[in-house]
Amino acid sequence: MLNFLRVNRNIRSIRRYLDIVRVLSTYGFDQALEMLGLADMVARSRRLFRRSAPNIARLTAAERMRLALVELGPTFVKLGQILSTRPDVIPLAFVQEFEKLQDNVPCFSFNEVLAQIAEELGGPSEQYFVHIDHVPLAAASIAQVHRARLKTGEEVVIKVRRPGIVKIVESDISALLALAGLAERHLPGSEIYDPVGLVREFSRTIRREMDFSREAHTIEKFRDNFSRTSWMYFPRVYWDQTTRGILTMEYVDGIKVSDKEKLAAQGLDGRMIARRGADSFLEMVLNHGFFHGDLHPGNVMILPDNVICLLDYGIVGRLDDGLKTFLTDILSAIVSRDMDEVVSLLLFSGDISDSLDTRSLKRDLSNFIDGYYEIPLKEIEVGRMLMEFIEIITIYSIRIQPDLMLLTKSLVMIEGMGRALDPAFDMAEHLRPFIIRSLRKKFSPLRISRDINQILVSYLNLARNIPRDLKEIINRVNRNKFKIDLEHRGLDKFTADFDRSINRLSVSMILAATIIGSSIIMQTDKGPKILDFPALAFMGYTAAALVGLWLVYAIIRSGRM
């Protein structure tokens, strides 16, 4: 049974793989597919599916890729949304285009909602809910949300996972891993971007997002982190009605932070909300190391007394002590205009290429800092400044940790909401005490002694392991077991092209031999006749003509005369 399921899953993955190739070819990415060694598959796709997307000739590559992701479905839309936060991985034009991706998917039926609830909770919905609204509050690629009432009377919202989405996502991930593997084998310089690692990172993200019990635990963690903050509110989770595929939480009736007219009508203070929002976000980042990663205005509600409530906890970011220290150090180095320190931090923390031009990097970073030098601190948008900084280092193929990229985008959103609520909002002013506190903590005697202790332990472990490792290497050499693996990138494409050329040459030789043999038979003028020609000669010429036409057609179709 297990073998059958595995085979069935593999068949689905192969079918999806072919579908991806077809869609990419449809939207004009044949050259990219050929670079991945898929030239034959592209040619077959052209013969089987003779169509192209409408008006693609007038679209940019980024626009065509966005349309291709939409056609490929929810997994690829999610991939595009995540890549829109990674300007260190894809060009800026693609980042801007992928930001337009939305979960524009049709709602699934209410009967399917009831079936999902019954399957997840182990009983009919009437056993847990008095009423469930037929019309969803929201629908996305992974789930949709309905308002409901528990049998105990509480107003709640139910987040219901879309039927069959897990199988779809797993099939797509398998196909993406195969394409990423081809990219690593065939595309020079792809190792700096680690395509397979990016797909695995994406798979972890989307699998976490599909597991609603994780999201429920995330809400509880945020509530614990802000247990002493009276002006932050987090919805209550109803665990008896929550599983991996169902999330039931308190319905929060508030005002969207973007609705300034309603906020003013209710007597709420925009300046106070902006200040509290900035402080709470910086508290998440620099103190807790655990922050909400999807803080657009639709996920921020304002309750009476200027209380802030956050919604949708599917995407979160994490900063360990090392990343928090890096963030504090890089901001301090930028403010102090110490380019040597900025470059040193980048080289230490980011993935860099062997051809990095540090002199040009320092020059571009100095020009970047000079552009902010005479601007008053209150006029500097910290999020935009960090985004511009990342755009510069992206040019030099320096990769930054994904959580730092998510943090930068979230900071841009927070700053935009703050300035919309309060035109005099100054993120730098809110940031200063957190940085000072972090620097004091970094240089405290306790922290220094702990760092020294860690360094000593690391060197002690290194000294302990060196003799053993050297002995292992020498033993392998003595036993002729010492191996060096060499990888030839792009050799598969050369082999395929070489085989194709040999095959054409062989067909040509057979064709020439057939024509010569037929000509010799023609001179004998013996045997049965067809149209007054010797039958064998006539058949030989006919076969040679057909094969010759097929060979010319194949060469013209390949585009390589």
Q: From the first residue on, what is the mean pLDDT of each consecutive set of 10 residues in the chain (561 residues)?
A: 40 72 80 69 55 67 86 85 77 82 78 93 92 89 91 93 89 86 74 77 88 93 93 94 94 90 91 91 88 87 94 87 79 70 71 69 78 65 76 75 81 86 83 75 74 78 79 73 60 62 74 74 69 70 75 63 50
Question: What are the structure tokens assigned to 79, written together?
Answer: 């991939």
**Calpha distance 464→458 (Å, rounded):** 10
**Tokens of residue 552, six digits:** 């010319």
Q: Which two tokens stand for residue 531?
A: 């149209």
Structure tokens at 462: 């290194």
The reported pLDDT for the residue numbered 391 is: 77
| Distance between CA atoms of residues 405 and 411, nearest Å | 10
Q: What is the pLDDT of residue 494?
A: 59
Q: Please, what is the Cα angle at 116 between 114 and 120, to 5 degrees? A: 120
> What is the separation, in whole angstroms, between the first and last Cα of the chain?
51
To 10 degrees, the CA torsion angle through 372, 373, 374, 375?
30
Alpha-carbon distances of 483 from 390, 477, 489, rounded to whole Å: 40, 9, 19
Contact predicate 400/393, CB 8 Å: yes
How many angstroms separate the CA atoms of 377 and 445, rounded?
31
Q: What pLDDT is attached to residue 1?
A: 38
Residue ranges in 236-357 assigned as alpha helix (H): 260-265, 270-282, 321-335, 339-349
Beta bridge partners of residue 144, listed in sequence order: 139, 160
Contact between 264 and 339 under an 8 Å Cβ cutoff? The reply is: no
Backbone angles phi, psi at 302, to 5 degrees: -110, 130
Q: List alpha helices for 336-401, DSSP H.
A: 339-349, 358-370, 382-395
H helix intervals, 211-294: 212-225, 260-265, 270-282
Return the active site residues. 294
Half-sphere exposure of 348 (CA within 13 A, CB side): 13
Q: Cα 179 to chain center, whole Å?
A: 14
For residue 429, give the H/E element and its range. helix 427-442
DSSP conformation letters of 17-80: HHHHHHHHHHTT-HHHHHHTT-HHHHHHHHHH-----TTGGGS-HHHHHHHHHHHH-HHHHHHH
Rg (CA), the chain: 31
Q: What is the pLDDT of residue 370?
A: 73
CB 353 within 8 A of CB 361: no
Helix (H) / strand (E) containing 530 = strand 529-530
Bridge partners, 249 (sequence order):
157, 237
Model pLDDT, residue 2: 36
